[in-house]
Structure 1
Amino acid sequence: MKRRDFLNVSALSTGAIMTGVNTIIPSYKPRHEFNLNYAPHFGMFRKSAPGGILNEIDFMAEQGFKSLEDNDMKQRPIAVQEQIADKMKGYGMTMGVFVAHTIFWQEPNLASGKKDWQDQFLKEIKESVDVAKRVNARWMTVVPGHLDLRKDMGYQTANVVDSLRKACELLEPHGLVMVLEPLNPRDHPGLFLSKAAQAYEICKAVNSPSCKILFDIYHQQITEGNLIPNIDNCWDEIAYFQIGDNPGRKEPTSGEINYFNVFKYIHDKGFKGVLGMEHGNSQSGKKGEEAVIDAYISSDSFK
């Protein structure tokens, strides 16, 4: 489908959303057929698809991307959330993660065990259930926040597990999943959760289908490397992946990670979920956006 035709479809679809009329998007053949389900984010293709985020969804679908992730979805007006969901539904796209709660980067909240912090967290999880239903999402990102330096790690872990179990009581009835994201200590010093094995231990302790791991390949390359063995060791608790090369947190092929082999391994393991493209573009403008697509074509060409 030509870009001009996509913009015409976008205009018709957007108008239908605003007037409450359901529009069926015509069938089309995407430009690329990827082996894995990669999810771009808004802004990644803004130069190739000017005119707003709905046009970006058109462009993503045209290129063959079958999912979208949006960390900021919860902060968007409800009407915009509904427009995004309607547009994605027309293309049969899957909604990836959004951030479920306030992340405390410099002070302990869940690790502290304080009831006020826990209550705020659970209130925000409950609000995120409504967002997930509105945008047809299944996964939401949870980061337990900063370490409580006055408490032993064992007590902190028990406090985090307690809060997560209570959150699962809110999520399980709706079939929703919070995915715990370990973040690297170079970019985010002092956070409670940093390693894949730690996330695995917590998920086993929580023991719920609504508490799984978001394995961010960029973060784990920095924190501990050994990517494929670590993915294998916590495979049964991983529900979601995110992507970014190191150094720079840009698209695959821009850094040191052999994404061809990593993607092939994930595919061969039978992963059917979403891999979020949570990174920037190594080059600016349309040229840089084309380079992102080319990088995924190359890294995904194992089959």
Structure 2
Amino acid sequence: MKRRNFIQKTAMTSGAIAIGGNLAFGASDQTAVKHKFNLKYAPHLGMFKHHAGDDPIDQLNFMADQGFTAFEDNGMRTRTIELQERMAQTMKDRGLQMGVFVAHEIYWREPNLASGDKTKREEFLDYIKKSVDVAKRVNAKWMTVVPGHVDLRQQPGYQRAHVIESLKQASEILEPHNLVMVLEPLNFRNHPGLFLTDSPQAYEICKAVDSPSCKILFDIYHQQIQEGNLIPNMEASWDEIAYIQIGDNPGRKEPTTGEINYKNVFKWVHDKGFNGILGMEHGNSKPDQLGEQAVIDAYKEVDSFL
């Protein structure tokens, strides 16, 4: 064999080995076992946009690739029907369970449900009716409801009665569809002046409404600020809690960035047999891809309680 031919064949063989090695690595990488979380943590759009890009479908696929099995989207109600359907199909294909979306326009500065005003009640009930269609379209079971601002011109008892009556009527709309509105108490610091602020109050209202379609969204971030004593308060209201949201305090960022011992909280939730969704309703503590990876790593850390 001539020296030139030998060199060419050797180079081609070496190149084939290198290509084969790369292909084998790529196949191994694509079929790698995804991380398996013990609980259904639900990211939201924008949380991983530096990895996945701006397209919602790409973001959903990235979440699934990381091992997340749920997703929540406060703004789903306002998205186009075409996008809702595309997102629903992607979630179905990738094994992502849909979490909450916000069912209605929230009154942050003036009373609506607490006022007893019939026009505002009808407006709220109309939102609930429309949200039934959204829920069916995206395979959602839960929708967030915030009763709005207090009515300073009425005694608390009257306000409570007005809110309960509105929620009873909303439950009548949701019950035939096996859908659940989850009432979210919000803390006084971020949202001063709102009617619903703590878990005992939410528990009392759910008991008064007395419907499987009216339950509590226990947001750990809000309740750490509002009342603390997290696990005992969750225990006391557990039979009315249908959904949980997450955020560390201070800062409302991912677990491990604040004072809450999320590993213990998640272990307690897991030991209770909770099979629902825990929405990751918080920001990222660091920017760009490094910050997004920090979120993923934080959840792997606090989820390692078994």
Distance in 1 (CA, whole Å) between partners of 2:204 and 2:171 is 16
Q: How does 1:204-215 map to 2 (within 5 A)?
A: 204-215=207-218
Distance in 1 (CA, whole Å) between partners of 2:186 and 2:235 is 19
Confirm or deny that 1:250 pairs with 2:253. yes
- 8 A Cα contact 2:46 2:54, kept in partner: no
Q: How does 1:147-296 map to 2 (within 5 A)?
A: 147-296=150-299
Alignment partner of 1:52 out of 34, 55, 62: 55
Confirm or deny that 1:31 pairs with 2:6. no
- 8 A Cα contact 2:111 2:149, kept in partner: yes
Q: How does 1:37-76 map to 2 (within 5 A)?
A: 37-76=40-79
Distance in 2 (CA, whole Å) between partners of 1:69 and 1:30 is 24
- 8 A Cα contact 1:30 1:63, kept in partner: no
Distance in 2 (CA, whole Å) between partners of 1:28 and 1:280 is 30
Shift of the 110–178 alpha-carbon distance from structure 1 to 2, 3 Å rule, reads same
Task: Show CA shifts across 1:176-233 (max 9, x none).
Answer: 0000000000000000000000000000000000000000000000001000000000
Deviation of 1:144 (Å): 0.1
When the two structures are aligned, how many residues end up with a matched partner? 280
- 8 A Cα contact 1:30 1:64, kept in partner: no
Shift of the 182–30 alpha-carbon distance from structure 1 to 2, 3 Å rule, reads farther
Counterpart secondary structure, 2:125: helix
Shift of the 205–28 alpha-carbon distance from structure 1 to 2, 3 Å rule, reads farther
- 8 A Cα contact 1:111 1:160, kept in partner: yes
Confirm or deny that 1:84 pairs with 2:87. yes
Deviation of 1:28 (Å): 5.9
Distance in 2 (CA, whole Å) between partners of 1:28 and 1:126 is 43
Equivalence for 1:299: 302
Distance in 2 (CA, whole Å) between partners of 1:299 and 1:29 is 22
Deviation of 1:93 (Å): 1.3
- 8 A Cα contact 2:174 2:180, kept in partner: yes
Q: Which runs of 5+ in 1 are unaligned?
A: 6-26
C-alpha RMSD of matched pairs (Å): 1.4
- 8 A Cα contact 1:30 1:62, kept in partner: no
Task: Show CA shifts across 1:43-97 (max 9, x none).
Answer: 0000111251101111100100001000000000000000000000001210000
Counterpart secondary structure, 2:215: strand
- 8 A Cα contact 2:218 2:244, kept in partner: yes
Deviation of 1:31 (Å): 2.2
Q: Which runs of 5+ in 2 are unaligned?
A: 1-23
- 8 A Cα contact 1:39 1:96, kept in partner: yes
With structure 2 as the length reference, what TM-score do the two structures score? 0.90
Shift of the 190–292 alpha-carbon distance from structure 1 to 2, 3 Å rule, reads same
Q: How does 1:118-129 map to 2 (within 5 A)?
A: 118-129=121-132
Distance in 2 (CA, whole Å) between partners of 1:50 and 1:209 is 39
* Amino acid aligned to 1:37: K
With structure 1 as the length reference, what TM-score do the two structures score? 0.91
* Amino acid aligned to 1:90: D
Distance in 1 (CA, whole Å) between partners of 2:72 and 2:190 is 21
* Amino acid aligned to 2:238: W
Deviation of 1:29 (Å): 5.9
